[in-house]
Amino acid sequence: MADYFETETQLSELKRCVDRHAHTLDHPTLPSQDSIRAAEASLPSSQSASYLAGAPAEAVVGHITRDILPALSGQGRSGRYYGFVTGGVLPVSQWADGVVSHMDQNVQVHLPAQTVATAVEDRALEMLASLLGLPGGGWPGRTLTTGATGSNVLGLACGREAVLARRLGGDDGAVGELGILGACARAGVEEIQVLTSAGHSSLSKAASVVGLGRQSVKELRLSDEEPWRLDFAALEEHLKRPRTASIIAISAGEVNTGRYGTYGLEEMKRVRALADQYGAWIHVDGAFGIFARVLEANDEYKLLHERVAGLELADSITVDGHKILNVPYDCGMFFTRSLSTLQNVFVNPNAAYLASSSAATIPSPLNVGLENSRRFRALPAYAALLSEGRPGFANLVSNMVQLSRRLAAFLRDSNDYELLPNADLDEIFIIVLFRAKSPELNARLVEEINQTRQMYVSGTAWKGEKAVRIAVSNWKVDVERDFKVVTAILAAVAEGRPFDIATVE
């Protein structure tokens, strides 16, 4: 393996990791329209004589470098790509990702005499659980997924399995063996509902995938003012419905505002008590929001810590890797307290050649997740956790919060813009929602901002009107510099002036 580390590019990559803050601050967040058009025109045409005729590797590399690379969006290279919630890539994780491809390690069966890969995965998941304050040993069901959507599919699949198994009695499994129709018929269940507040769109997708249907997702929002908060009275009403089984899905970090479905330990205890009383499963979608738990416990972050308290009372939790953890796409994590439920859903049965030893302490990944063969997805996350540790992640996330709060204060005090919802800055995690006070400007605000190519935002709606969200999630965040650039862009846009990054000191 030494050859891999001795190659010139690998050594320079390593040096870059050591000097991890040596980055170009003002890399554009978006390519120009021209480079996108040129790249599209450079793609092979089925009309051309050379179509699929083959080409030397140098020509392929040249084409990708020259044509395609300049036409990709810059979430990895710029810290000011604030669309969606994308994160960036820590250099050490990028390097580890290269090792993953280089070795082409398949993670499928736990084969401790042949590879350390499953042990690394398991240790990385344990470290992440510890970082997020999920008590050690309490989360034996855990695996790597392709992202939070994948993890939400696992969460609803486990919930579906457990709520029916409970009604059927015994540990023989339910839907995994009998199918959803068979299990529901035997259990006398006519509906499985997913009860949430401001649930992520992927929750509905997951409900469709696991056979519950998008209409099973019910929004129990406390009020128009606080749509992210779970309405407990409505929750209990729904749980009481006869011949109905329930999965409670807590939005721990809602994408429009970054706010939380429950407001602390007491509320989570109430959810737990209701779930136990009515035989429901609690799934937490903490894709990015759960990372508030890595912040230092000081006055500035006291309220955020309160908001994310008690999430460990859930039955399953979604965590995203390619967002705040800042590892490359695609990577997500899933944790559940019930390994047997996870196995009852995902076991890959009756394949003797895929068996691990009976004394294995780590479950084979193919029996606890969607894929059989898959990428060694844990290594870049392992590298990030090892390299940053608790202090590194506390600092990294704190920078994101600091920039978000400074921007929120700027918007709140601005004549041209309005901070939404008008809240205590202490509630702000990494998402800032706002709109222009002028309806004309507001209608084209997202376009005007993104046209500068120096920051990127996504549009959304707030109370039926257009709004803009800034989601800060890149490790490259530079609070002082980014604050200057973003506020200069917002000022230029409000005054209808063109923006030139060279004018920002």
Ligand X SMILES: *Cc1c(COP(=O)(O)O)cnc(C)c1O
| Chain positions contacting ligand X, by CB under 6 A | 85, 147-149, 152, 200, 202, 253, 255, 285, 287-288, 320, 332
Comparing CB distances to ligand X, the nearer of 200 and 405 is 200
Counting Cα atoms < 13 Å in the Cβ hemisphere of 434 gives 29
Measured from the CB atom, is 278 or 281 closer to ligand X? 281
Nearest to 392 by CA among 405, 383, 379: 383
Query: CA–CA separation, 405 vs 100, rounded Å?
Result: 37
What SS3 class is residue 441?
Answer: helix
Distances (CA, A) of 79 to 39, 413, 439, 445, 481: 24, 24, 29, 20, 10
What is the distance in angstroms between the CA of the first residue and the CA of the last residue of the chain?
A: 46
HEC profile for 76-97? CCCCCECCCCCCCCCHHHHHHH
**260's tokens:** 């939380």
Q: What does the angle CA 500 – CA 69 – CA 475 come to, to the nearest 5 degrees?
A: 65
Q: How far is the CB of 99 from ligand X (least distance, A)?
A: 23
Given a contact cutoff of 8 angstroms between Cβ atoms, the answer to whether 211 and 180 are in contact is yes
Nearest-approach distance from CB 38 to ligand X, in angstroms: 29
Distance between CA atoms of 101 and 94, rounded to whole angstroms?
A: 11
Q: Between 147 and 227, name the residue whose CB sits nearer to ligand X.
A: 147
* Distance of closest approach, residue 63 Cβ to ligand X, in angstroms: 29
| Closest CB to ligand X among residues 72, 347 | 72
Q: How far is the CB of 460 from ligand X (least distance, A)?
A: 13
Cis amide leading into 320 (omega within 30) = no
Least distance CB 323 / ligand X (angstroms): 6
CB of 324 to ligand X, least distance (A): 10
Rounded to a whole number, what is the largest CA-CA distance in the chain? Answer: 70
Which is closer to ligand X, CB of 91 or CB of 147? 147
CB 28 within 8 A of CB 80: no
Closer to ligand X at the Cβ: 183 or 220?
A: 220
Whose Cβ is closer to ligand X: residue 254's or residue 388's? 254
Choice between 260 and 278, CB closer to ligand X: 260
For the bound state, the minimum distance from the C-beta of residue 434 to ligand X, rounded and expressed in Å, comes to 19
**Min CB(463)–ligand X separation in Å:** 20
385 CA to centre of own chain: 16
Cα 135 from Cα 92, distance rounded (Å): 27
- Beta carbon of residue 166, minimum distance to ligand X (angstroms, whole number): 26
Q: Per-residue DSSP letters for 282-321?
A: EEEE-TTGGGGGGS--SGGGHHHHHHTTTGGGSSEEEEET
Q: Which is nearer to ligand X, 187 or 249 (CB)?
A: 249
Burial (Cβ within 10 Å: 0-12, 13-18, ≥19) of residue 331: buried
Closest CA to 134 of 309, 383, 374, 387: 309
Tell me how far, at minimum, the Cβ of 331 lies from ligand X, in Å. 8
State the DSSP H helix or E strand holding residue 110, giving kind and residue range, or none if neither. Answer: none
Q: Which residue is listed with tokens 């800034």?
A: 470
Least distance in angstroms from the C-beta of 89 to ligand X: 14
Minimum distance, C-beta of residue 308 to ligand X, in the bound complex (Å): 13
Whichever of 149 and 367 has its CB closer to ligand X, that residue is 149
In the complex, least distance from residue 253 CB atom to ligand X, rounded to whole angstroms = 6
Which whole-number Å values give the CA distances from 371 to 104, 144, 327, 336, in the listed order? 16, 10, 20, 18
Residue placing its CB nearer to ligand X in the complex, 149 or 316: 149
Whole-angstrom distance, CA of residue 153 vs CA of residue 370: 9
Q: How many CB atoms lie within 10 A of CB 12?
A: 10
Which one, 477 or 493, has the nearer CB to ligand X?
Answer: 477
Cα 54 to Cα 5, 43, 62: the distances in Å are 30, 14, 14
Cβ closest to ligand X, residue 148 vs residue 396: 148
